[in-house]
Structure 1
């Protein structure tokens, strides 16, 4: 089997399963593990995967984005810890933007229910999760519904946000890096996120460690736009300090 064909099959497996293991794919393709490690190194150099111990996971790009099914299965304990830590930073905010995605949804579900809060979101799952909470008013942004994430986008959502002044925004991203900021594969999603950044007085990033050092297609914010970056403890202390040196507090849960 030629290297190009191996690369294609390795990438396809990583994207379908969310991760590829060296030992498993080596057996499947009938090649030595060292061959797979070289293949992963090449794919990593092209920005298609991120290598981990014993394997790799796919990097989201303009041509590939994970859906809700994968996100609700991946790193769930870490995401729940992130949600608790992020919700603890609510402070006196009364109006809160909650981004699309599973981690922001978990933040929304962790917000206090003993005082009135207005939540603005483009996410149908988040709106549904909060709809029965008596103390929470949910404002669902209009627009085109993306089937992959069940969130609204395009000018309707952007215009609605443009008329608001929001106390606090909880935002996710497909990638966050010190030099390229926060990015996402779809420019339509990026426009909604970027507008939320503009109209919010405070901004908190929530995301697992695999988001760090990754760049996707469309940029919507800088690291310096955020008061805090809330992630899990698998982000190294050294890397956390590099982001903290740019201004935001980095919270490793």
Structure 2
């Protein structure tokens, strides 16, 4: 097997399992542990995984964000609930922004009938889903494409955002700690901040597993959002602390009705 093919299969395996041991990979692919180490070094250098003691992981850490394909599988039902609820905040005729996150990106499946609508996004998945829909104008933000985030970032993306204005922005974040949101990637942070500046109101969509975690870069205080939307699986202490801090928190249950405070 060619090294590139083996590394691709390793990534597909990690998409399913989240992590794997050196010994496990060596047996699975029939190569030496030294070869596995070299493969993992290459994949880590490309930003696709992180090496850990005795193996590799694609799971998020304070300095590493997972590949979008892995993130889409985590808390998938909860993310759909949040997206369905967020879609109810949108009125036909509005201009909205959707970021690269898997949670905010799930909105695309619930707004196809909210026409006419203009959608500004750097999320390639959203662009592909909505571009063919009559009555929805998609403004695709240019920039450098990131296969890891399946979106566009950089100077061109931010310049395009500065020239645009929207009614609502829907953002995701990889970590919420205290009354602030964080992310591992500096360019992602800069793009999300500009999206908030370009919108009259912003909403944060984040699954309950992101609370109590932190990441390398501060994104923004939570009071910068009109509301924070999460699943009703959120631990009560986190919810109470946010509400006591004056944050508008909506916990969305299976009926997607939401509990607002």
Q: TM-score range by the shorter chain?
A: 0.7 to 0.9
Whole-Å separation in 2 of the counterparts to 1:213 and 1:92: 36
Secondary structure, counterpart of 1:137 in structure 2? strand
Whole-Å separation in 1 of the counterparts to 2:128 and 2:247: 31
Partner of 1:171: 171
Q: Is the 8 A contact 1:227 1:247 kept in 2?
A: no
Unaligned runs of 5+ in 1: 1-12, 21-47, 49-56
1:74-103 Cα offsets, whole Å, 9 max, x none, are: 111111111111111224671100010221
Partner of 1:222: 221
Whole-Å separation in 2 of the counterparts to 1:91 and 1:114: 7
Partner of 2:140: 140
1:172-203 Cα offsets, whole Å, 9 max, x none, are: 00111224x11111101111001011121111
Unaligned runs of 5+ in 2: 1-12, 21-49, 51-57, 253-261
Whole-Å separation in 1 of the counterparts to 2:191 and 2:84: 24
Q: 1:201-240 alignment to 2 at 5 Å?
A: 201-240=200-239
Whole-Å separation in 2 of the counterparts to 1:71 and 1:105: 11
Whole-Å separation in 1 of the counterparts to 2:209 and 2:93: 29
Secondary structure, counterpart of 2:90 in structure 1? coil
Measured at CA, do residues 138 and 192 of structure 1 come closer, stay the same or move farther in structure 2, by a change above 3 Å? same
1:111-165 Cα offsets, whole Å, 9 max, x none, are: 2524211111111111001111112110111111111011111110001101112
- Normalising by structure 2, report the TM-score: 0.72
Partner of 1:67: 67
C-alpha deviation, 1:221, in angstroms: 1.5
Q: Is the 8 A contact 1:93 1:168 kept in 2?
A: no
Q: Is the 8 A contact 2:59 2:65 kept in 1?
A: no
C-alpha deviation, 1:216, in angstroms: 0.8
Partner of 1:189: 188
